[in-house]
Amino acid sequence: MEKRKRKIISKLRNKHRFVLINDNTFEEIVSVRLTPLNILIIASTIIIVFSLTLYSVFAYTPMRNLIPKELTGSERAELIQLNQELHEIKQELETRNQKIGVMNDLLSGKESKYDSTSVRPNSHRSN
Question: If residue 16 lies in a helix (H) or strand (E), which one and from where to where?
Answer: strand 16-21
The CA distances from residue 70 to 55, 65, 67, 75, 101, in Å, are 18, 12, 10, 10, 45
- Sequence-ordered list of residues with C-beta below 8 angstroms from that of 67, at least 6 positions apart, any chain: 58
- pLDDT per residue over 50-105, tens digit each? 999 999 998 899 888 888 888 888 989 999 999 999 999 999 999 999 999 888 88
Region 24-31 average pLDDT? 92
Q: Quick one: average pLDDT of 18-45?
A: 92
What per-residue confidence (pLDDT) applies to 122? 55
> How far is the C-alpha of 110 from the C-alpha of 104, rounded, in Å?
9
The answer to whether the beta carbons of residues 49 and 30 sit under 8 Å apart is no
Domain boundaries, the chain: 1-69, 70-111
